[in-house]
Amino acid sequence: MALDTEKIIEDLKNASILELNDLVKAIEDEFGVSAAAPVAAAGAAGGEAAAKSSYDVELTEAGQEKVKVIKVVRDLTGLGLKDSKDLVDGAPKNVKEGVSEDEANDIKAKLEEVGASVTLK
């Protein structure tokens, strides 16, 4: 027995809300499923998508070894010497924005290694 998909769709279009509600209940009872399950799964997936996926690396303080910090900032950002110095002098300032967690932790480690204080946002 082949399903007449077009006829089923036409019947659904012409059905009232009460009839559709009864149909959903009948399908749930017959097949032991819940119409709410896909909605809950979609909500859970949306919550995971809202988890933090990108970070901003903020230089909060240069520390005692300012020259070393400037060199590391220059290597990490590709900025020129003057721009790197201005960034370090202007702390707190973002060194990089919108990077992955791994990259953010790597940048943080490199800057802290030379005595800088860093925050991930």
pLDDT in tens, 26-71: 888 888 877 765 544 444 555 544 557 788 899 999 889 899 999 9
Quick one: which of 50, 53, 60 has its CA closest to 99?
A: 53
Q: What is the pLDDT of residue 2?
A: 75
Q: What is the pLDDT of residue 68?
A: 92
pTM, two decimals, is 0.56
Concatenated DSSP letters for the chain?
----HHHHHHHHHHS-HHHHHHHHHHHHHHHT--THHHHHHHHHHHHHHTS---EEEEEEE--S-HHHHHHHHHHHH---HHHHHHHHHT-SEEEEEEE-HHHHHHHHHHHHHTT-EEEE-
Q: What is the pLDDT of residue 1?
A: 60
- In whole angstroms, what is the distance from residue 91 CA to residue 94 CA? 8
Q: What is the pLDDT of residue 40?
A: 45
- In whole angstroms, what is the distance from residue 116 CA to residue 107 CA? 11
Q: Please, which residues bridge with residue 94 across strands?
A: 58
Taking only the tens place, the pLDDT of each residue in 100-112 is 888 889 989 999 9
- In whole angstroms, what is the distance from residue 73 CA to residue 93 CA? 11
Both tokens assigned to 84:
């790197």
Q: What is the pLDDT of residue 24?
A: 85
Taking only the tens place, the pLDDT of each residue in 11-26 is 888 988 888 888 888 8
Taking only the tens place, the pLDDT of each residue in 65-102 is 899 999 999 998 888 999 889 989 998 999 988 888 88
pLDDT band at 114 (very low <50, low <70, confident <90, very high): very high
